[in-house]
Chain A
Amino acid sequence: MTALWPVALQEDERLAVLDQLALLDTPGEERFDRITRLASRVLAVPIALVTLVDADRQWFKSTIGLDVPEVRREESICAWAIAADLHGLLIVEDASLDPRFAHLPAVSAPDGVRAYAGTVLRVRDRAVGTLSVMDDRVRSFAEDELAALVDLGHWAEAELRAEDERRLTQKLESLQHRTEMVLEGVAEGVVGVDADGRVTFVNSVAAGMLGWPEHELLGVDLHATTHARHADGTPYPHEDCPVSEVLRTGRSQRHLFGSFWRQDGIAVPIDWSAGAVREDDEVVGAVVVFGDASHRLAMEQLKDDFTAVVSHELRTPLTSLKGALGLLENGAGGALPPGAGPLVDIALRNAKRLARLVDDILDVERSSKGGMPLSRRPLNVGELMRTASATVQGTAMTRGIDVAVESVDAVVWGDEHRLLQVLTNLLGNAMRFSPEGSCVSLHAERDDTAVRIGVTDQGVGIPAESLDRVFDRFWQMDGSTRRARGGTGLGLTIAKNIVEGHGGLISVDSQVGVGSTFTVCLPLRSQDRPVTVERRAGTRDQADARATAVSAGEDG
């Protein structure tokens, strides 16, 4: 018959502690042997053991009077000590009479164990083993003998705990070493700040990039020291810094671009991100990771120059082509033979289309990062709308579409040419996707701070899943649309960039089969610096949800 011991509470944790101790199967040690020697002498027993109870065995770290290294756990009395009474002693006067132990080989053997006393050894509040004594005679243990056993048990426990601490320290040191290696090995600058934005750690890449000795950065206010001015030298208030926002909200900030100031006063262009460090759900700091953006900026500049040069090289022959065809069409080269007119018309139309594409590519490049110069002056929105409407009137009549204008009296600070480009583009799109005989409406409304100009059509509409992408470069409804409707796929991107360059927002609302409304929201305040249009709560939720906010600041 096999009597299974009751499984000790928290067996997994107990085994984890044992594993952490890493004493199983190690050679004997004097620090434990002196305890078993003393136990054997004080309690006058032939056998004394320091045992560790593993998952399926009991292993002896130190033995007196026993020459086996381990026994199976189900054949062990100590396993019962651990399971039965985690905090106390297990005392057996005659194991051969005890149904729990009588069948165990150690008991049933000739000259087997009769008396047993064991005290549980605990590390990190988990029972990992015992200090136990055994006798081949039936006997009882006196109170002072048991007290001595408990005391010796505490001693053994102290040795185990010392070992545990040594292991923990080792592990921590190794972890710390690894963390340091990662921090130093990472090719990006890494800076940690506490909840007040003070530097708690900094890796050497960061120190090198910021041009500060590491030790001088520790403890300083990161923003005040390296980030207190924008690239143009204007003050950068602490509260506007994305790190402050991370500390405030706990939300990570990614894909940031800005300037960090070196100790020698040079501004370094930086691509960076900031993440929150939490402790018990509380934001206790942030980690800033950054890299030098100079290379990226140089590559972008190269790309821009390339695009500009290529476009220019395309424009020159196109100018000749268009000009020559235009002159031909208008009889400057003499009367055209019959049948040549339509051919010249095809050539001219396509030359113009190619020229428009080249212009759009240039515009989208220039406008995408504020490179498009805006000649801003006070503009009457009503006049702007009427001019835009007049510009597209010819096309509208050709297509049998009615353009209705419902203007408003408002003045914005803008570039007339570029804003007209936006409105005519929106009107052109609206007409392109509208059936003959329908109406395109150009309407506006204003409040104290902003004017909203809308272009509404009764066209095919845009599927909901595409609404997020309509302002992306080269987005078209689909390939067939591109061919049939003749757009370049860049107009809305350019429009968005122009509107945002004015500190405004552009948004779209659409329903398939009903029509679309594009809304341009422009700030009314005339300031040199672009201001952001505040979103108004409760109105046009859908459009606002898709509107793209523009930050007036450098970062983000």
Chain B
Amino acid sequence: MTRTVLVVDDEPDIREIARLSLEHVAGWTVLVAGSGADGIAVAASEQPDAILLDVMMPEMDGPETARRLAADPRTAAIPVLLLTAQVLSSERAALADAPVAAILAKPFDPMTLGREISDALGWQA
């Protein structure tokens, strides 16, 4: 079954790697956004099956974006996965109460990213 996943990351290269990985390896349809605000807009209009969210982003960070997605009735039902390097203590603290389905480690392996998302969300391969 073809899934649609939204990748939200402020780093264009990471976005591209995630897109290539999920399209070519997992065979999904991938949407991308470069900021939390864009991500919310795309999620609301395109209704992806899942949202992959970077934690460290300027202006609106991952946890904050996740909170807004959860609070928005148009996007509340979409599972959110956070991608984190868990480097800074402030970052770790912010993760503690973020409304997300799973937290994935960064850097991710492009060959297994799709499987990790599937496993975390209980999707059948």
B25 touches A319 (CB 8 A): no
Closest to B86 in A: A373
Expressed in whole angstroms, the Cα–Cα distance for A368 and B106 within the complex equals: 22
Q: What 0/1 pattern do residues 14 to 40 of B give for CB contact below 8 A with A?
A: 101110110011000000000000000
Residues of A within 8 A of B73 (CB): none
A308 touches B87 (CB 8 A): yes
A323 touches B110 (CB 8 A): yes
A315 touches B85 (CB 8 A): yes
Residues of B within 8 A of A147 (CB): none
Q: Main secondary structure on chain A at its contact with chain B?
A: helix
B21 touches A332 (CB 8 A): yes
Separation in Å of the B21 CB from the closest CB of chain A?
6
Q: Which of B13, B89, B92, B106 contacts A315 (CB 8 A)?
A: B106
B87 touches A311 (CB 8 A): yes
Residues of B within 8 A of A320 (CB): 11, 13-14, 16-17
Q: Knowing A327-B17, A330-B25 touch, does A319 contact B87 (C-beta < 8 A)?
A: no
A312 touches B13 (CB 8 A): no
B20 touches A373 (CB 8 A): no
Q: Which of A309, A332, A371 contacts B25 (CB 8 A)?
A: A332
The reply to whether the CB of B117 lies closer than 8 angstroms to some CB of chain A is no
A323 touches B108 (CB 8 A): yes
Separation in Å of the B102 CB from the closest CB of chain A?
15
B107 touches A319 (CB 8 A): yes
Expressed in whole angstroms, the Cα–Cα distance for A549 and B25 within the complex equals: 49
Separation in Å of the A289 CB from the closest CB of chain B?
32
The reply to whether the CB of A527 lies closer than 8 angstroms to some CB of chain B is no
The reply to whether the CB of A211 lies closer than 8 angstroms to some CB of chain B is no
A326 touches B107 (CB 8 A): no
Expressed in whole angstroms, the Cα–Cα distance for A316 and B111 within the complex equals: 17
A312 touches B88 (CB 8 A): yes
Q: Which of A311, A312, A373 contacts B56 (CB 8 A)?
A: A312
B107 touches A322 (CB 8 A): yes
Q: What 0/1 pattern do residues 87 to 118 of B give for CB contact below 8 A with A?
A: 11100100000000000001111110000000
Residues of B within 8 A of A326 (CB): 109-111
Closest to A362 in B: B87
Q: Knowing A315-B106, A332-B25, A373-B92 touch, does A324 contact B17 (C-beta < 8 A)?
A: yes
Separation in Å of the A301 CB from the closest CB of chain B?
10
The reply to whether the CB of A23 lies closer than 8 angstroms to some CB of chain B is no
Expressed in whole angstroms, the Cα–Cα distance for A318 and B11 within the complex equals: 12
Closest to A319 in B: B107
The reply to whether the CB of A305 lies closer than 8 angstroms to some CB of chain B is yes
Q: Which of B14, B20, B56 contacts A332 (CB 8 A)?
A: B20
B87 touches A330 (CB 8 A): no
Residues of B within 8 A of A332 (CB): 20-21, 24-25, 110
Closest to B18 in A: A323
Q: What 0/1 pattern do residues 48 to 65 of B give for CB contact below 8 A with A?
A: 000000001000000000
Residues of B within 8 A of A309 (CB): 87-88
Expressed in whole angstroms, the Cα–Cα distance for A86 and B52 within the complex equals: 103
Separation in Å of the B70 CB from the closest CB of chain A?
24
List 5 A–B pairs whose Cβ atoms lie within 8 Å, in order of A's numbering.
A311-B87, A320-B16, A323-B107, A327-B17, A371-B89
Closest 4 pairs between A and B when the two form their complex, measured CB to CB: A323-B17, A319-B107, A320-B13, A332-B24
Interface residues of A (CB under 8 A from B): 305, 308-309, 311-312, 315-320, 322-324, 326-327, 330, 332-333, 355, 362, 371, 373
Known: A312-B88, A319-B107, A323-B18. 16 other contacts (CB 8 A): A308-B88, A311-B87, A315-B107, A318-B107, A319-B106, A320-B11, A320-B13, A320-B16, A323-B14, A324-B13, A324-B20, A326-B111, A327-B25, A327-B111, A330-B25, A330-B111
